[in-house]
Structure 1
Amino acid sequence: MKRIGKVAATAAAVCIAAALPAQAQVLKEFGSFHVGGRQVTLDGYPVTESVFTQGAKPTRVDPNGDFEVEQMYVQYLVPEPTRAKYPLLMWHGGGLTGVTWDTKPDGQPGWMQYFFRQGHPVYVSDAVERGRASWARYPEIFKGPPFFRTKKEAWETFRMGPEGSYSLDPAKRTAYPEGKFPGAYLDQFAKQFVPRWTVNDGPTLAAYNAEIQKVGPAVVMVHSQAGNFGFQAALAAPDKVRAVIAIEPAGAPPPGPALDSLKNIPMLIIWGDNVDKQEIWIRQQPASRAFADDLNARGGKVEWIELPKIGIRGNSHMTMMDTNSDHIAALIQDWMKRNGLMR
């Protein structure tokens, strides 16, 4: 795609700019809300007893009644002055929460702080079933079982090191050459892992759509599992999604006439290093490439960046946690300026 050349030409200048401090921001407003979800009534399940506090008498536990389920949690920070034209909605990947965008495992500020300091109102969500959004009963409401990620899976699938390079002993883990993920902090990163379900894509997308309707016109930044949710949300509300920034999206809508409604929405898709060395990404990357190619052929505005091809090497799947993450954030910030998303 021709758009790659423009990004490559500015990458060095952007990386230099990343080292410069943003103008100080004042926190004008912060808060949170839950959005989406539905009411479910359970009936006919046995009443039991349980001891809630050591030494206390058993308490009657009745699982029957009315519940709110499939809601999503959103925390927001609004800066003063606000330099962005639209709020920035930050959606995390599978088995993770909004902590993805918060302080990095090595203690450095994350992208939530970075973009706040650039003047963006930031809205960071915990999707359905994750973090402060909460679970629902299984199997009465969530029909499938939860899955739990191991540290080995994260180390290899997130491309911190090659297949077979994980060890329980941190000193024996082998990272990729030039790898930018701070491998000494894998164990700290693993504390963020939460259960995920494979049966909740519909409710999750519904909650994201509800967030967009509540917040109004916005830029959506997505990572991994949330990639397809972001593209689908744009299809559902092309009048409100003003841009999509996808960091290694795990999926995308298929090519076809339905994409015509996205022609006027600028999109940025970013991929890191060693994608061709991990089977899951060899399978998944083509979906977003086909989406980008088809949308551009229809007159769309998709920029596709493979970071190694513009001289930025070593990035893992967790780009926002890598040691050069501010440089990638500066690249994104420059893209937003060039696409008229800043004041």
Structure 2
Amino acid sequence: MLRLALAGLSLGLLCTSALAQPAAAPPAAAPAAGAPAAGSAPASAAAKAPLVLRDMGSFHIGGRTVEVTGKPTREVVFAAGGTPAKMDPNGPYQVEQMYVQYFLPQNRKGKVPLLMWHGGGLTGVTWETTPDGRDGWLNMFVRKGWDVYNSDAVERGRSGFPSPDIWPSSPIFLTKGNPFERFRIGAGPGSWSPDPAKLKVLPGSQFPVEAYDSFVKQGVPRWLDSDAPIVAAYTELVQKVCPCVILFHSQAGGFAFRIAQAHPDKVKALVAIEPAVPGDPAKAAALKDIPILMVFGDYIEQDSRWPAMRGKDVAFGDAVKAAGGSVDVVDLPAVGIKGNSHMLMMDKNNGQIADLVHDWLVKKGLVD
């Protein structure tokens, strides 16, 4: 037994082969007990039982090779004070690959792997330690006995992105206040301020507003025309490690539903956390044997965009049900869970919502 002291949490790793489980061949690096905004481990970390894994690791998947030609050779200095070198930008480039981590608990209870897919302008950090240093859903679901695969979509985080010679469009960037106003943390446009005393937080919000600065550090640039390579990499991941459950957030709705409709034999359940994009209603019947859970947070009715987005999601769910499928829509306030933002996996009651999702998966027969 190899013991790693990790941010105040003893993390037990039993070094057995991941190949013992075919679907779990490549998994991920251990999520450290998160550091709050001040940078120290939360006081509760030492009180937790060790998180025991039978294996962990990471891999890249997908991508393609692209040839660049016709560019002039130039002289560059790769490090300050270094010796200049000539660089020829012509030649083959490896692009559009996706980075994946996996964590395999010693006491596995989930019958299939659980894939976590993040939303737009974000990375797999979405599912890791919360901005204020609490356990994220990655930790929680590993503790619940799930083999978890967490990825950075193509063009995000450790997946990288191609040069403008290959992707000529430009990425978009968000201002510091954009997520505050758009993710139902604040009360819409004009609710964010650089002065913490002037922030207009929605009443009863569960988002850890005191750690908002830590949250916006997770943001990365995103392209608006990169769906094809993202779908290609996710599809290759599904082919590699599934049958599985896909748990996805926001922008990833358009990817997860689409891939499940194309490969229904590979998906045992879909957990849609406020999907920003539904599937194709014309192909709803493809999901008739895949149970679907849709979860929505609070303050939707007073938002400028989310009533329409939720409406499209529910209409898609109705199409699946009309085709003989099973779709459960949970509006958290309706079941007594209030104050949740769009980033409900980070909210202060994230454990309660993780329990709700896990209980649903138990009822669907996906947990031993």
Question: TM-score under structure 1 normalisation?
Answer: 0.91
Give CA-to-partner distance per residue, 1:243-297, whole Å, 9 cap, x none.
00010001112323x2112111011000101112222323322221111011112
* Counterpart position of 1:82: 108
8 Å Cα contact 1:243-1:266 kept in structure 2: yes
Higher relative contact order (CA 8 A, sep 6+): 1
8 Å Cα contact 1:142-1:199 kept in structure 2: no
Letter in 1 for 2:218: Q
Letter in 2 for 1:322: D
8 Å Cα contact 1:267-1:302 kept in structure 2: yes
* Counterpart position of 2:284: 259
What are the within-5 Å matches in structure 2 for residues 1-343 of structure 1? 25-138=51-164, 140-163=165-188, 164-256=190-282, 258-343=283-368
Q: In structure 2, what is the Cα distance between the partners aligned to 1:306 and 1:125? A: 27
Give the deviation of 1:54 after TM superposition. Answer: 1.9
8 Å Cα contact 1:95-1:196 kept in structure 2: yes
* Counterpart position of 2:11: none
Q: In structure 2, what is the Cα distance between the partners aligned to 1:53 and 1:228? A: 41
8 Å Cα contact 1:73-1:132 kept in structure 2: yes
Letter in 2 for 1:293: D
Give the deviation of 1:216 after TM superposition. Answer: 2.0
From the superposition, tell whether residues 183 and 25 of structure 1 become closer, same or farther in structure 2 (CA, over 3 Å).
Answer: closer
Letter in 2 for 1:70: E
Q: In structure 2, what is the Cα distance between the partners aligned to 1:248 and 1:165? A: 22
8 Å Cα contact 2:104-2:147 kept in structure 1: yes
Give the deviation of 1:192 after TM superposition. Answer: 0.5
Q: In structure 1, what is the Cα distance between the partners aligned to 2:232 and 2:48? A: 35
Q: In structure 2, what is the Cα distance between the partners aligned to 1:290 and 1:25? A: 40
Structure 1 residue ranges, 4+ long, deviating more than 3 angstroms after superposition: 21-25
Q: In structure 1, what is the Cα distance between the partners aligned to 2:137 and 2:351? A: 8
Letter in 2 for 1:146: P
Q: In structure 2, what is the Cα distance between the partners aligned to 1:197 and 1:270? A: 26
Computed over aligned residues only, the root mean square deviation of the Cα atoms, in angstroms, reads 1.4
Give the deviation of 1:45 after TM superposition. Answer: 0.9
Q: Percent identity?
A: 49
SS of match in other structure, 1:128? coil
Give the deviation of 1:24 after TM superposition. Answer: 6.4
Letter in 2 for 1:202: A
Give unpaired runs (5+ residues) of structure 1: 1-20
Give the deviation of 1:61 after TM superposition. Answer: 2.1
Give the helix-richer structure, 1 or 2.
1
SS of match in other structure, 1:114? helix
Number of aligned residue pairs: 321
SS of match in other structure, 1:99? helix
